[in-house]
């Protein structure tokens, strides 16, 4: 089954288009595969990152894949959401891009929106930031 995914780059600078599209292509392929992969290739690491962080992220991703969710759309911008959680937590490293990802499960006809906060790695690829308590 071929799935159309709508994308929006919401006024991102041109130099971020290719890295965001590459991150999302990997994310979409992971979701389609049904096997959650979270590691140093996709996520940033650091001395203040909780040791179970990647495992928790992987389990969370696997849960929506097990429920049959697929990516239907995504939009990227540089504006951090004004959510209450960011009063208690900060993202490391400081994100350059926020991607809002829409998922849909045909089996349950349910929709879900998740986000990824991304920052460039040393090699120029975008990786997901991690959160730490302030």
- Over residues 43-99, the pLDDT tens digits come to 888 888 888 888 888 898 899 899 999 999 999 999 999 999 999 999 999 999 999
Q: How far apart are CA 53 and CA 130, in angstroms?
A: 8
In a domain, 28, yes or no: yes
Look up residue 125 and give its two tokens.
């690829």
In a domain, 92, yes or no: yes
pTM of the model: 0.88
In a domain, 1, yes or no: no
Residue 86 phi, psi (nearest 5): -75, 0
The β-bridge partners of 96 are none
Span 9-55, pLDDT tens digits: 978 999 999 999 999 999 999 999 988 887 777 888 888 888 888 88
Q: How far apart are CA 14 and CA 19, in angstroms?
A: 10
Q: How far apart are CA 104 and CA 97, in angstroms?
A: 23
Number of domains the chain contains? 1
Q: How far apart are CA 36 and CA 110, in angstroms?
A: 20
In a domain, 33, yes or no: yes
Helices (H), 1-134: 14-33, 53-66
Domain span at 44: 6-133
Asked if 92 and 131 count as a contact pair (C-beta separation under 8 A), the reply is yes
């Amino acid at each position: 089954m071929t799935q159309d995914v709508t994308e929006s780059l919401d006024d991102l600078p041109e130099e971020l288009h290719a890295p965001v599209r590459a991150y999302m292509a990997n994310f979409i392929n992971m979701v389609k595969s049904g096997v959650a992969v979270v590691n140093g290739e996709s996520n940033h690491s650091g001395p203040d990152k909780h040791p179970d962080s990647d495992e928790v992220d992987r389990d969370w991703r696997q849960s929506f894949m097990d429920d049959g969710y697929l990516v239907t759309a995504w939009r990227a911008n540089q504006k951090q959401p004004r959510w209450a959680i960011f009063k208690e937590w900060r993202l490391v490293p400081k994100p350059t891009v926020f991607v809002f990802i829409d998922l849909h499960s045909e089996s349950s006809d349910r929709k879900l929106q998740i986000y990824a906060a991304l920052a460039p790695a040393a090699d120029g690829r975008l990786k997901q930031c991690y959160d730490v308590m302030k």
